[in-house]
Amino acid sequence: MTRLDVTVVGLHYAPEHSGNAPYTTGLARHLATEDMDVTAVVGYPHYPEWHLHPDYLRRRRVEVDHGVTVRRQRHLVPAEPTALTRVVMESTFAVKTAWQLMRRRADVVVAVSPVLLSLLPAVLLRRAGGYRLGVWVQDLYGAALAETGLGGGLLTRATAWLEIALLKRADSISVIHEVFRRRLVEAGIAPNRIEVIPNWSHVYVPEDVDVPAVRARLGWGPDEVIALHAGNIGVKQGLDGLVDVARLADQRGSRVRVVVMGDGSQRAHVMALGADVDRLTFLAPLPDGEFETALAAADVLVLHEKPGLVEMSVPSKLTSYFTAGRPVVAATDPRSGASSLMAAAGAGRSTSAGDAAAILDSIEQVAADPAASTAMGARGRVYAAEHLTSAASLRRYTCWVHQLAGDGQLVPQPVGVTSPLDRELSASLLDVPGPAPALPRVALPDTAPSNAAMSSRQRSRALAGSAPNPRYQSAVLPSVSPSRQVGVQDSARAASSTSSRSTPAS
């Protein structure tokens, strides 16, 4: 059986535990379990603290991580990230990525965006390297500069043009939400070249948390309403707004305490802004296990986005918030991906970002109705089990990679529609009585892929008498037992293993 050679390119990888690192790591590790030879070309861990991880102060070029060959590329880590210093950092990484792509042959290259500039060598070397290129879009750069105001008009327009130009040259694109797909289609990318595969929840929050003990350990009073924001403290979160919420809580004499847990480029700024606010607390990143129990012990979990953010990103912290089974108050634009996820899950309330009074009112109203609060949390947990499982998402990514290689066809599930695989896993996670529904047996092509759909390396193998992966010739997608699904979820969860964490994803 021929094994696919897959190269995953992304700046962020474990032991980073926030942003897209858990997903890049989880995908690479999963593909390594699927009879693929996987190489990850990644940067040195530095995010969200913006300084090198202590274990990586010395050069560590090559590691083996759960079957993945990890090749670290040294790059600048700016102490104070700005648009210019990020360009320098990404350019350094892009040049070194080009060298790695020229040195090694691959059937498929999966490039994670961001980082945008790493797409440049992946696109330019695609023909010479003989590989098929898939781009996995976690954030949209052009929208990010436009909506955060980090770039001037010329920089924003140039970045948006470059982003679309590079994406148009990829063989296939995977995005994490329909809002991204819609924007790319409007920019002129053919809809049939875009797959929507959501990010998954990569944390496990037990249901039997000793909440009073956790709250006492964290210094949270039994009569306080803890509104917890767990995540990266960066520009796009706009956490100045939560300082305003806490200050208003002071003025009202409210029981609400705003807790900001995590790290990031704006932490010092936000702490200084809230130095005189009594109802505001900052927590450093918590270690694995304690992080999840902190989520479960909060009264309300808070998502806050900078006012005006609509299309640049979909905050993946919602996947972990939903898994925690606590009600969520999301301060976000009503047109955003976060808002649509909140509406689909029914896991809490959405309100306008930047409106301190509306946010505080929503927190107080949710906390004042324990029955409704419990129901919101339960709906969020069910939604996560039905729609945001690693087993379902990783299986679709496996099919996407095989489709890129010309070995098979992706069988996508529409966003918001529960697949049979998700329902089976949901039953096993939630102890729903009765047998799980049988999975359909979906036939895949009976013939070998055409030359046009094969990488040049595969064509040379075929000419030498080695056919592409025979599993996808007259094959069916196998049913996945609950125990296997949990194993897949555990393998993805291992991506976020580290001594401390600030967020599930920002």
Q: How confident is the model over 142-178, as pLDDT tens digits? A: 666 665 555 567 777 787 888 899 999 999 999 988 8
Segment 179-184 shows an average pLDDT of: 88
pLDDT at 85: 85
Peptide bond before residue 45 is cis, with ω within 30 degrees of 0: no
- What end-to-end distance do the CA atoms of the chain give, in Å? 40
- What the block records as the tokens of 393 is 């998402």
Higher per-residue pLDDT: 38 or 306: 38
Segment 270-294 shows an average pLDDT of: 93
> Does residue 314 register a pLDDT over 80?
no
pLDDT at 452: 45
Residue pair 413/440 in contact (Cβ under 8 Å)? The answer is no
> Does residue 196 register a pLDDT over 50?
yes
pLDDT at 211: 95
> Does residue 360 register a pLDDT over 90?
yes
Segment 84-94 shows an average pLDDT of: 89
119-128, 232-241, 262-271, 461-470: the lowest-pLDDT one: 461-470
Segment holding 130, helix H or strand E: none
What is the band of 428 on the pLDDT scale with cuts at 50, 70, 90?
A: very low
The C-alpha torsion from 54 through 58 and 64 to 66, rounded to 10°, is 10
Higher per-residue pLDDT: 398 or 288: 398
pLDDT at 115: 82
pLDDT at 344: 92
What is the band of 480 on the pLDDT scale with cuts at 50, 70, 90?
A: very low
Segment 83-93 shows an average pLDDT of: 87
> Does residue 450 register a pLDDT over 90?
no
CA atoms within 13 A on the CB side of 2: 25
- What the block records as the tokens of 259 is 């807790």
pLDDT at 141: 65
> Does residue 443 register a pLDDT over 80?
no
- Of these ranges, 162-166, 332-336, 374-378, 483-487, the one predicted with the greatest mean pLDDT is 374-378
- Measured between alpha carbons, how far is 458 from 369 in angstroms, rounded to an integer? 60
Segment 188-214 shows an average pLDDT of: 89
Q: How confident is the model over 486-498, as pLDDT tens digits? A: 333 333 444 334 3
pLDDT at 248: 97
pLDDT at 142: 61
- What the block records as the tokens of 42 is 């990644």
What is the band of 4 on the pLDDT scale with cuts at 50, 70, 90?
A: very high
- Select from 183, 175, 106 the least CA-distant residue to 143: 183
Counting residues of the chain whose pLDDT is more than 70, the rounded percentage is 76
pLDDT at 152: 61
What is the band of 321 on the pLDDT scale with cuts at 50, 70, 90?
A: very high
Residue 84: partners with Cβ closer than 8 Å, 6 or more residues away:
none
Segment 390-403 shows an average pLDDT of: 91
- Measured between alpha carbons, how far is 403 from 392 in angstroms, rounded to an integer? 17
> Does residue 72 register a pLDDT over 60?
yes
Domains of the chain: 1-200+389-506 (3.40.50.2000), 211-387 (3.40.50.2000)
Using DSSP, state whether 316 is helix, strand or coil: coil
Q: How confident is the model over 209-221, as pLDDT tens digits? A: 999 999 999 999 9
pLDDT at 18: 80
- Measured between alpha carbons, how far is 5 from 472 in angstroms, rounded to an integer? 16
Averaged pLDDT of the chain? 80
pLDDT at 420: 37
Residue 171: partners with Cβ closer than 8 Å, 6 or more residues away:
126, 132, 133, 134, 193, 404
- Measured between alpha carbons, how far is 116 from 412 in angstroms, rounded to an integer? 26
- Of these ranges, 171-175, 409-413, 433-437, the one predicted with the greatest mean pLDDT is 171-175
